[in-house]
Structure 1
C-alpha cells in the first residue's frame, strides 16, 4: 500500500506545495480506511487543497490534471492575453469569457469524437476553443481560468485546445468583453491569424480568380474550365468574388470578398456583369483599384499566406464624401 500512496503524495506535493506527511495521512485515510480508489483519492485531495489555495481569485471548477510546483505562481504572473496566443504554444494559461459552448461531433482519424466547442474572449481578442474531454460545468460559468492548454491552427487561426492535462477553474473576477478596434496591416501580418478584426487600406490590384467564377454544386470549390478537382466535369454554379491586394503602408495582405460584398463595393450586380462577361473583370478593376476600404472579417494564415476573408466592407466616410463632391462637380 505504501508503494501506491507514496507516488501520489509526491505528485500532490509537487503540484500543491502541501506538506508531504499531511498528504500521506489524508491519502491513507481515504484509500486504506474508506476504501476510496487511489485515482479518486488523488482528485479529491487535489480539489480540496486547490479550493483552499489563494491563487488569484480562482475557484476550482474541475481538476483534470496536476501542474508542476514551478507552474503554481499567481495567475496574474503567467496569463497570456488571447491576442498574443500563437499556433504551437503549449502549457500556457488563459483567462477568458466563455461564449456559446456546444456539444458537437467531429470526424477524426480515430473515428467520430464528441467534443465541446465555442469561443473564448478577453479584452484583446476572440478565439475558438475545443474541449476534447467532457467538462459539462463549462456551460454554467461565465469566465474560466484554463491552465496547461495547447494551441493548434483552426481554420487558419489559433485555436485553444483543452485536454485531460488541462486544469479548468471558474474565475471570480471580471474579464472585459472583446471590442473590435481598427488595426494596421503591419500588426495583423505579425499574427498567426485573428478572428473578427477590422483594418483599412488601399486596394492596389486584383489577383487572378477575381470576377465571375463557377463553383462546384456539390462542394462549392471554384471550378477551372468546367472541371472540379474533386467531382470532375459538371455544370457549375455562377458566382462572383474579388481577390484583392490590400495595403496600408505598414503591410499588405490578400483580401477576399464574396458575391454580396463584391456587388456592394463595385455597385454592380452579378446578373448585369454576366451580360457582358468579357468586360466584368475590367469593370470591377476600374471601380475599386486605388480606392481605400474598411474591411472587417477573419484573418487566416495558410499555405498561400495571410488572407482576410471579409465579413463586411465599406468605403471610409471621408472618402465617400470626397467621391460625392467629385461626382457632383462632374455633373455640373
Structure 2
C-alpha cells in the first residue's frame, strides 16, 4: 500500500461492512483525485459506491464549523417556520428555525418535513453545515435522520446580567435589560399557519439592538424599560438579534433606562464587536473597491449577477443598479463602507442614467468607477448604518452618508491643540 493513501484507505474501510481490496480503493481514489474531486468528497463518494455509510461525528453546537459534513447533533427546537423558495425555476417548501443545546444556539434548515415543533428535543445524524450570512447553519438533508427524544436539554440556570453590547451570536439563556424605542408587528408563515411576531428596536445606555418576540407580551410596549431572562441571540445579516420566545421571562422595570446616542464610534472599537446596529462612523475614503459603479442585479432576488446569470435563478432579466464599496479609515482602524444607488447619487451627484451615459461614451463601465474615485477619494465622510463581520472582513452597509461640516483645517487645529495641550 502506498503510504500517502494509507490513512484515507483505513478511514474508508472502517465505514464499510464488506471487505474491499486496498489496491482497488487506491485506484478509485486516485481516479477521482485526477478529476480534481476534493479529497473529502472523494472519500464520501467511494464509501457510498462500496455500500457503506459514514459514521457521524458528534458535535456540540458551539463547535460546529462551516463546511462540515456528516455530523451528529442533539438539541431542542426553539422555533421553526415554513417558507417557499424557488430553486432552478421550481418551488420547494423548506423549514427553517433555531435549535439549541447547553452550549449555544444555531439556525437550521430542514429540506424535508420532519414534523418538528418548538420544544422538541431531537437527535440528528448525517447533517451538514453551510454558510448563511457568514454564520454556520445546520442543514438536514435527504440523508439526514431525525429522531425525537424524551430527554431534556439542561441549560445553565445561573446567568449574569449582560449589556446589549456584550451579546454574541449563539448566546443562550440571556439576561439583559433595555428600553423599547419602537415596535413593528408583522406576520410570518409557520408550519401551523400564519403567526404574528413582534419586531422591535431596543436600547440600553449606549447600544441599540434589534429584538424579535415570538410571543406578544403586554410588557413589550414602546417606552417601557424591561428585564428579560432566558432569551437567546441569533445574528441576522451579521447583526446580533435578541430573540424572545415562550420560555423567556419578560418583566417591566420600575426605573427607566435612558439611551444616549453617540455621535461617532471609533472603527478600532467596532472591530472588537460581533456586529452593530444603527451606528455612526467618520473617516477618510482610502480606496474604491472593484464592484463599485454600475452593476447588474437579478430581477428575481436582487443578487449581483454577471452576464445575466444568477447563481440561484440561472439566466434572468437583469436590472441596472449602482453602488460604492469603499475603504474608510479613521486612524484607529478601517472597514468596507457600502453605499447604495441613493447614497451614491447623494455624495457623487451621479444617478444611474448619468452613469450609463458615461459608460456608453467611454465604452466601458470602468469609467464610472474612475469617475467615482475622482469625486470622493481622500475626502472625509460620516456614515450611519449596520456593521457586520464576516469572511471578507468588516462591512458597514450605510443607511445614510454625508460630508461633515467640520473642515480639515478645524480638525487639524483640534489635533494640534490636543498634542500641545
What TM-score do you get using the length of structure 1 for normalisation?
Answer: 0.68
Is 1:294 matched with 2:382? yes
Is 1:191 matched with 2:273? yes
Rounded to whole Å, the distance in 1 between the matches of 2:222 and 2:327 is 44
**C-alpha RMSD over aligned residues:** 2.5
**C-alpha displacement at 1:110, in angstroms?**
8.0
When residues 231 and 203 of structure 1 are mapped into structure 2, their CA distance, relative to the original with a 3 A threshold, is same
Structure with the largest fraction of strand: 2
Q: Is the 8 A contact 1:299 1:306 kept in 2?
A: yes
When residues 196 and 225 of structure 1 are mapped into structure 2, their CA distance, relative to the original with a 3 A threshold, is same
When residues 114 and 248 of structure 1 are mapped into structure 2, their CA distance, relative to the original with a 3 A threshold, is same
Rounded to whole Å, the distance in 2 between the matches of 1:93 and 1:119 is 17
Rounded to whole Å, the distance in 2 between the matches of 1:212 and 1:320 is 31
CA deviations on 1:180-202 (whole Å, 9 max, x unpaired) are: 42111111111111111111111
Rounded to whole Å, the distance in 2 between the matches of 1:69 and 1:204 is 48
2:319 to 233, 237, 256: 237
Look up the SS of the partner of 2:259 in the other structure: coil
Match of 2:358? Answer: 276
Q: Is the 8 A contact 1:180 1:196 kept in 2?
A: no
Rounded to whole Å, the distance in 2 between the matches of 1:321 and 1:227 is 49
Match of 1:308? Answer: 396
When residues 113 and 286 of structure 1 are mapped into structure 2, their CA distance, relative to the original with a 3 A threshold, is same
Between the two structures, name the one with larger relative contact order (CA 8 Å, sep ≥ 6): 1
When residues 262 and 188 of structure 1 are mapped into structure 2, their CA distance, relative to the original with a 3 A threshold, is same
| Unaligned 5+ runs, structure 1 | 1-66, 72-77, 323-332
**C-alpha displacement at 1:140, in angstroms?**
7.6
Is 1:204 matched with 2:204? no
Rounded to whole Å, the distance in 2 between the matches of 1:305 and 1:207 is 13
Match of 1:248? Answer: 330
When residues 107 and 249 of structure 1 are mapped into structure 2, their CA distance, relative to the original with a 3 A threshold, is farther
**C-alpha displacement at 1:300, in angstroms?**
1.9
Rounded to whole Å, the distance in 2 between the matches of 1:249 and 1:240 is 28
Match of 1:122? Answer: 204
Look up the SS of the partner of 1:275 in the other structure: helix
How many pairs were matched up?
Answer: 250
Look up the SS of the partner of 1:287 in the other structure: helix
Match of 2:299? Answer: 217
Aligned positions of 1:34-183 closer than 5 A: 78-107=160-189, 113-139=195-221, 142-183=224-265
Q: Is the 8 A contact 2:219 2:250 kept in 1?
A: no
| Unaligned 5+ runs, structure 2 | 1-154, 411-421
Q: Is the 8 A contact 1:141 1:170 kept in 2?
A: no
Q: Is the 8 A contact 2:385 2:397 kept in 1?
A: yes
Look up the SS of the partner of 1:290 in the other structure: coil
**C-alpha displacement at 1:138, in angstroms?**
2.0
**C-alpha displacement at 1:113, in angstroms?**
4.9
When residues 140 and 223 of structure 1 are mapped into structure 2, their CA distance, relative to the original with a 3 A threshold, is closer
Match of 1:5? Answer: none
